[in-house]
A = this chain, B = another copy of it.
């Protein structure tokens, strides 16, 4: 039986999570708190294997909470469960000692799987979270800024192509589309990134970890 402690300020979500966990084989919610302070003061009175931790909380921030918790329980398994998917929160949470990072939009069944996964030594992460973490390696590491890029796959492809030194024409040939289409994509990229030339777009792409 895996014992879970929840810290989540929204009453509905917190109670929903507790119900879900208690309804699952092998899982039990041993306590649930609306604030980090309450949790830190009381968690020792309960059995616990995995912490489910929100980030946006009244009072102490969820990430600070993870740091404190880690000092007291270095082996604690902590899963962040939050709506934030910006790099800053992700990396800070992981650095603080979280074992996994899940988005609140995660389906119930997957959430249960994630808890079991963490308990068995895994590090469950929502799909695009994992991708961002992996990208951290690929970009040679470095503190990333937040900011969401909503570039489409094709747009990212075009932008990467530009960064690689391709001209519009070269990109058109490589991607088997007309130069007009390349232009069109680039216009959209500029609009989305709020820039007005290639260099700034490429720069922004690096800063935001798009590339």
Chain A interface (Cβ within 8 Å of chain B)? 74-75, 91, 94-95, 97-100, 117, 120-128, 130-131, 133-134, 136-138, 140-143, 145, 153, 156-157, 160-165, 167, 195-203, 206-207, 209, 211
Q: How far apart sit A74 and B210, CA to CA, in the bound complex (Å)?
A: 12
- Tell whether, in the assembled complex, residue A163 and residue B202 are in contact, meaning their CB atoms are under 8 Å apart: yes
Q: State the number of copies, please.
A: 2
Contacts A74-B160, A124-B130, A128-B121 given; indicate if A137 touches B202 (C-beta within 8 A): no
Question: Which residues from chain B contact A130 at a C-beta distance below 8 Å?
Answer: 100, 122-125, 130
Having A94-B137, A122-B131, A141-B141, one finds 19 other A-B pairs with CB under 8 Å, namely A74-B157, A91-B137, A95-B137, A95-B138, A120-B127, A121-B127, A121-B128, A122-B127, A122-B128, A123-B127, A123-B130, A133-B137, A163-B200, A164-B200, A165-B195, A165-B196, A198-B202, A203-B206, A203-B211
What are 8 of the A-B contact pairs (CB < 8 Å)?
A120-B127, A122-B130, A124-B127, A141-B141, A164-B200, A165-B196, A165-B199, A199-B201
Question: Which residues from chain B contact A136 at a C-beta distance below 8 Å?
Answer: 137
Question: Which residues from chain B contact A138 at a C-beta distance below 8 Å?
Answer: 94-95, 97
Q: How far apart sit A163 and B199, CA to CA, in the bound complex (Å)?
A: 5
Question: Which residues from chain B contact A145 at a C-beta distance below 8 Å?
Answer: 140
